[in-house]
Structure 1
Amino acid sequence: MGNFTKWLGAGLGFTLGGPIGAIIGFAVGSMLDGVGIKDFTSEQEDYKRATGRKERPKVKQTTAGDFEISLLILASIVIKADGKIDKTELDYVRLHFINLYGKQRANNAFKLFNGIIKKDVSTRQVCIQIREHMSHSSRLQLIHFLFGIAKADGNVTASEEDAIHKISGYLYINEADYNSIKAMFYNEVDSAYKILEISKDATDDEVKKAYRKMAKKYHPDRLQDVGDEHKKGAKEKFQSIQNAYESIKNERNMS
């Protein structure tokens, strides 16, 4: 129990409170009797004293742990959207966390996930808490990850897409950005154009301008506020932008 509470308590900021904190408390309570949010708060204070970290009054900073917990909770919403829990999707979540954090930290995260997925979650309340404390770039990365989960079994169902679209709206992701990320997971004729948020009748100059804009928007360096480990997940999204641009260049014989 000690290692688990230290992992969770030391890494969280804004997600220790509000509706997300309540979900965490429920998830842990379903695994460990007698353990609650107060245990994580205690571990967090011990961690701050040991590392010399001081928290500014009334400011809730976003941490790598906050991003991690947000992923788990939103992933549980998408996985349950079609009325069943698919093992392939669960395996995708586990593998993604191993790639991001290493096996030990990923195992801790998945223990928590197994508790979270048993809880009925208010999508709106969770997303409001996330968007109040997380940057736009980080919220875009969340949507990309959720599509990856939905596509893990080879097909994004209508209910899964509806769930991600609802989450996107609550996170204040506009339709152009949502459709851009969605197009990264569909092999359609005009996917490359959708990824760059332009139409097929765009001029070559407009294509180049769109690429520069999107490359800047999705550059992994924009995720520094939630830890270097999450840049790994951002690289796939950034590569999709580059691939879309190369596809259009080849189609048009652009220099």
Structure 2
Amino acid sequence: MIRWLLAVLGYTFYRFPGAIIGFLIGSLLDNFMGSKSKSRGGFQQVFQQQRSEDVSPADFELNLLSLASLVIKADGRVNQAELDYVRQYFVQAYGKERANATFKVFNEVIKNREISAAKICALLRSRTRYESRLQILHFLFSIANADGHVTQAEVNEINNIARYMAIHSRDFESIKAMFFKNPDSAYKILEIDRTATDTEIKKAYRTMAKKYHPDKLQHMDEAYQKGAQEKFQKVQEAYEQLQKERGF
């Protein structure tokens, strides 16, 4: 992407102002050259083609990193383990060279600008499939958990993002439960109450297995498909735990 190249070059010569100017000029050149229509991989395929205007993969990456930065800074400090997790995630999805170029701009632009979660999530809500937004939520919880502990401040921030993305509260609690171990975790993952019957548990498992099946995210990059597999595995583990506890 020309925008990222010019942003990095701008930062090299003129630091933060140069990065912004380079990114803006590069965006214009990208649009003029039709780079959007030529790029078919990765997150561009996540966006629904229901409107005439389009969002480039680079713009989506920037928005995703913006949400990641909100979670990283939620508890008042920047944790290196969480930063490393995000970097590695992007390396797996886009390759080391592109990920490093993205993070050079991210470190100067994203961390030092005012970020509106509401505006970013409004875009994601209108342009992405629901199952893709669930994967974004799982990604954000994974960032928070990178240091081995999800703080309440991080939970609150992710909850706000979930509401902005119009994610149902039960789905939020289900994904949240995948990162917290307590007696009710298995029930919350399956989106049922502890009073559920064995029949209701089996039905809930079939529903959740279908919702979180990795095949639903075949349009996304390998790194995000891996996250889908992790959610699917958590659903299976929750069901097997309840099978063992209840003996059915």
Q: Is residue 92–residue 149 contact of structure 1 (8 Å, CA) maintained in 2? A: yes
Q: 27, 30, 34: which is aligned to 1:40?
A: 27
Q: 1:42 to 1:29 in 2, by over 3 A?
A: farther
Name the structure 2 match of 1:192: 186
Q: Do residues 201 (structure 1) and 195 (structure 2) align?
A: yes
In structure 2, relative to structure 1, the CA distance for the partners of 1:218 and 1:64 (3 Å cut) is farther
What is the distance in 2 between the residues matched to 1:205 and 1:7? 57
Aligned mates of 1:196, 1:77 — CA distance in 2: 28
Counterparts in 2 of 1:196-235, with a 5 A limit? Answer: 196-227=190-221, 229-235=223-229
1:32 counterpart SS class: helix
Within-5 A mapping of 1:1-255:
2=2, 4-5=4-5, 30=17, 32=19, 34-46=21-33, 48=35, 51=38, 58-61=51-54, 65=58, 67-114=60-107, 115-227=109-221, 229-254=223-248
- SS of residue paired to 2:22: coil
Distance change in 2, residues 1:204/1:81 (3 Å) = same
Alpha-carbon shift at residue 58 of structure 1 (Å): 5.0
Would the aligned equivalents of 2:186 and 2:238 in 1 still touch at CA under 8 Å? Answer: yes
C-alpha displacement at 1:63, in angstroms?
6.3
Root mean square deviation, CA, Å: 3.0
Distance 1:31 1:209, change over 3 A: farther
Contact 1:131–1:172, Cα closer than 8 Å, also in 2: yes
CA shift, 1:220, in A, is 2.0
Assess if the C-alpha contact under 8 Å between 1:124 and 1:167 holds in 2: yes
> TM-score scaled by structure 1?
0.79
Identity, in percent, stands at 45
- CA displacement, residues 143-170 of structure 1 (integer Å, 9 cap, x when unaligned): 1111111111222122111111111111
Structure 1, unpaired ranges of 5+: 9-27
Alpha-carbon distance between aligned partners in 2 of 1:126 and 1:49, rounded to the nearest angstrom: 19
Answer yes or no: is the 8 Å Cα contact 1:82–1:160 preserved in 2: yes
What's the CA shift string for 1:20-70, capped at 9, x where partnerless? xxxxxxxx95563641334123224435499498xx895245665555333
Q: Secondary structure at the match of 2:19?
A: coil
| 1:226-245 superposed Cα distances (whole Å, 9 cap, x missing partner) | 44553122211111111111
- Partner of 1:152, secondary structure, is helix
Range 119-128 or range 95-104, more displaced = 95-104
| 8 Å CA contact retained: 2:186, 2:242 | yes
Matched residue SS, 2:74: coil
Task: Report deviation, 1:101.
Answer: 2.7
Distance 2:164 2:82 in 1: 23
Contact 1:62/1:134 (8 A) holds in 2: no
Show structure 2 runs of 5+ residues with no match: 9-14, 41-48
1:74 partner amino acid: L
Number of residue pairs matched? 233
Asked if the contact 1:220/1:238 (under 8 Å) is kept, the reply is yes
| 1:107-138 CA-partner distances (Å, limit 9, x unpaired) | 12322321212212111122112111111111
